[in-house]
Structure 1
Amino acid sequence: MTSYADVVVVGGGQAGLAAGYHLRHLGIECVILDAQAAPGGAWQHTWDSLHLFSPAAYSSLPGRLMPPQPGETYPDAGHVVAYLSDYEQRYELDVRRPVRVQGVHRDGQLLRVATDSGAWRARAAISATGTWWRPFLPAVPGREVFRGRQLHTVEYRSPYDFAGQQVVVVGGGNSGAQIAADLAHHTDLTWVTQREPRFLADDIDGRALFDAATARRRALDAGTGDTGGVASLGDIVAVPPVRAARDAGLLKASPMFARLTPDGVEWADGTRAEADAIIWCTGFRPALSHLAPLGLRGPRGHIPTHGTRAAEEPRLHLLGYGDWTGPASATLIGVGRPARDASREIAQLLGVVR
């Protein structure tokens, strides 16, 4: 069975909902196809102690402020899931789930979106699948011989799963620091980073990061030079649990090891550390396999874009994958503006006048 919509949005997380909001505001018919069984996107799969970097009011999608969470300055992931669920109901967004998109194809003047429950034909499409579903694991020698447990950020839930164990956490970004802080009081922890951890000033949270990312994008667009953006401030937001573990001397990083051994890790000088488990907090790649039939991939797996629009396919927009699809577009507060811009471009493409 084949259905029709003016616009098909692939992904029902924060980016997909922001796109749906703006398209609906412009009077454009759209359907949002979400592979998840319930609302909330990736937020429903995070570790138990995860909190936002910013207060609720600064972590909102367009049109609807996130309400504060009682007793919490920085809302937890469960609060975000509840907010996203309420958001799609409040704006009566047409979210179909669970629907897994298998491929987006050119079909004459239209795009054909093939799914596990039939196909959709549309005049335009927005890909908003994010990165959570494509975790990255580095090619470190010995990974296949290690006898302990190996898992990625996406599989970590609670420090109690590792109580009393020797655990190596790999990664010097926010996920690595937060999970290391989570484990510090319950395990024999070794935290490993590629370079010395760079903590942002304690008074910096997601609001400042969004402003920095936006200023960098404006400077690059104006040709006035690269301000460095978020990277110029540091790598790790000192949220309260990270700050507490750092100040207690529990977040002391070791340099990256050279290889894994059957019982742990080994550095280039021969120093070893035993480990029951290794948690790879080593980032993600864009989840773009559904766009493979369009043949748009460029260097490093990215699809070249003008703003959010695919450079070689004007009917396709990409939203929420990081700065290359809009400043801070992988964040709740940052995705609204590129979602608005993408929706306006699609309105022009479709000849919709408001």
Structure 2
Amino acid sequence: MTTPALRAALKMDIVVIGAGQAGLSAAYHLKALGLKPEKDFLVLDHAAQAGGAWQYRWPSLTLSTVNRVHDLPGLGFAEFAGGDESVRASVAVPHYFAAYEERFDLRVVRPANVTVVCDRGDRLRVQSDRGLFSARGIINATGTWEKPYIPDYPGAALFGGEQFHTRDYTVAEAFKGKHVLIVGGGISAIQLLDEISKVTETTWVTRTPPRWREGPFDEEAGRAAVAMVEERVRAGLPPKAVVSVTGLPVTPAITSMRERGVLERRPMFSEITSTGVRWEDGATLDVDVILWCTGFRSALDHLAPLQLREESGGITMTGRLATQVALDPRVHLVGYGPSASTIGANRAGSAAARELTNYLGMVT
């Protein structure tokens, strides 16, 4: 639901920043604890419509190819999918999120671009293009979509071809007739390599050899993966990509790619030339396009004045599910570290809502 522009300096107990999976989960649990939307808490979302980052995903990412869409608390996704797995994820999930916001009357304010959060003693000042808000605590759920990461390589500015990031990808046919160098070892890199290699020439490079995971990813393996990521953020280290812990599942699509010979991975190059790339041994490769499937970083620039980061570049997290910032317990990060997954985001939203309201003395 989109509300009218709000007056400046509006006081709230809690401001939730972001209305993706984690933000909606947090809002649901705040309301379940007895807090009232637009009175006790407020949800601000950067996007013009519901759907979080899902609304920006490429058209070929359908419900049959996406990893999984986990249910938000209190309302299942299945009834909105309609059993048709050919539906675009960028259509189905936003429809689900919009229905969820309406069902639980979460009153998300959008589009609302939060530019900065500052410490004002016993309160936090949240500045946005929809006004100025004062909060006793915040739950930050801004995710990563707004912070695509492209590593800095020598010669990048010299390249005469095109460079894109996963975030820019639309359809494979856009690259037809071009030699595409796909950089990255994550699930998105594999998905795009599969699609693009069917219409044109591709080369795949990764920094380290891919780790393939045979068999199902059971509950025990999931807990182990989350524990490894959680250990890092509790130590104040930057979180690693989930795939670095879980490995890449060997699916029928992977088997087909192996048979087509497109998974013959090459090591990372050392520099970019005007026509392609060069490796340390002097070998070169001419390409037309470099597609950086190198992931994202947490979109936390607006929190910079709070000085939450350690010298390592990470943020020390505490709390039951590592959502609470150790340096400022009034701030919870959901969708960060171990909660940077759809199922993890749900649990993190619940924990953050409970712990923050307890800390503020609102709920016992």
Please, what TM-score do these two structures have when normalized by structure 2?
0.85
RMSD over aligned Cα atoms: 2.6
**1:16–1:167: structure 2 CA closer, same or farther, 3 Å change rule?**
same
- 2:58 corresponds to 1:43: no
String of CA shifts for 1:224-245, please: whole Å, max 9, x gaps: xxxx996686532345544432
- 2:24 corresponds to 1:17: yes
String of CA shifts for 1:239-287, please: whole Å, max 9, x gaps: 5544432343222211111211111112222222211110011122111
Q: In the alignment, residue 71 of structure 2 is paired with which amino acid?
A: S
Match of 1:224 in 2: none
Match of 1:32 in 2: 43
Q: In the alignment, residue 319 of structure 1 is paired with which amino acid?
A: V
The alpha-carbon deviation at position 300 of structure 1 amounts to 4.0
- 2:63 corresponds to 1:53: no
- Structural mapping, 1:65-76, within 5 Å: 65-67=76-78, 68-72=81-85, 76=89
**1:152–1:189: structure 2 CA closer, same or farther, 3 Å change rule?**
same
Question: Would you say the 8 A contact 1:53–1:237 is kept in 2?
Answer: no
Unaligned runs of 5+ in 2: 1-7, 234-239
Question: Would you say the 8 A contact 1:142–1:260 is kept in 2?
Answer: yes
Match of 2:342 in 1: 332
* Equivalent residue for 2:265, pick from 253, 263, 266: 253
The alpha-carbon deviation at position 22 of structure 1 amounts to 0.7
The alpha-carbon deviation at position 150 of structure 1 amounts to 0.4
SS at match of 1:333: helix
**Cα distance between partner residues in 2 of 1:22 and 1:234:** 29
Question: Would you say the 8 A contact 1:69–1:75 is kept in 2?
Answer: no
The alpha-carbon deviation at position 208 of structure 1 amounts to 6.9
- Aligned-residue sequence identity (percent) comes to 41
- Structural mapping, 1:89-238, within 5 Å: 89-201=102-214, 203-204=216-217, 210-214=222-226, 216=228, 234-238=246-250
Question: Would you say the 8 A contact 1:286–1:302 is kept in 2?
Answer: no
Match of 2:326 in 1: 311
**1:234–1:312: structure 2 CA closer, same or farther, 3 Å change rule?**
closer
Question: Would you say the 8 A contact 1:167–1:277 is kept in 2?
Answer: yes
Match of 1:353 in 2: 363
* Equivalent residue for 2:304, pick from 289, 292, 299: 292
**Cα distance between partner residues in 2 of 1:271 and 1:219:** 40
The alpha-carbon deviation at position 40 of structure 1 amounts to 0.8
Q: In the alignment, residue 74 of structure 2 is paired with which amino acid?
A: G
Unaligned runs of 5+ in 1: 222-227, 324-328
**1:168–1:330: structure 2 CA closer, same or farther, 3 Å change rule?**
same
**Cα distance between partner residues in 2 of 1:218 and 1:294:** 22
SS at match of 1:106: strand
The alpha-carbon deviation at position 5 of structure 1 amounts to 1.8
The alpha-carbon deviation at position 200 of structure 1 amounts to 1.8
String of CA shifts for 1:177-220, please: whole Å, max 9, x gaps: 11111111011100111122222225448x67644334557999
Question: Would you say the 8 A contact 2:182–2:292 is kept in 1?
Answer: yes
The alpha-carbon deviation at position 86 of structure 1 amounts to 1.7
Question: Would you say the 8 A contact 2:54–2:89 is kept in 1?
Answer: no
**Cα distance between partner residues in 1 of 2:116 and 2:253:** 41
**Cα distance between partner residues in 2 of 1:275 and 1:232:** 27
**Cα distance between partner residues in 1 of 2:91 and 2:254:** 20
Question: Would you say the 8 A contact 1:14–1:61 is kept in 2?
Answer: yes
**Cα distance between partner residues in 2 of 1:39 and 1:289:** 22
Match of 1:225 in 2: none
Question: Would you say the 8 A contact 2:225–2:246 is kept in 1?
Answer: no
Please, what TM-score do these two structures have when normalized by structure 1?
0.88
Q: In the alignment, residue 180 of structure 2 is paired with which amino acid?
A: V
Question: Would you say the 8 A contact 1:69–1:79 is kept in 2?
Answer: no
**1:122–1:64: structure 2 CA closer, same or farther, 3 Å change rule?**
same
The alpha-carbon deviation at position 42 of structure 1 amounts to 0.9
String of CA shifts for 1:313-338, please: whole Å, max 9, x gaps: 12111110222xxxxx1111111112
**Cα distance between partner residues in 1 of 2:153 and 2:21:** 33
Q: In the alignment, residue 3 of structure 1 is paired with which amino acid?
A: L
User: After TM superposition, which residue ranges in structure 1, 4 or more long, deviate above 4 angstroms?
Assistant: 214-221, 228-234
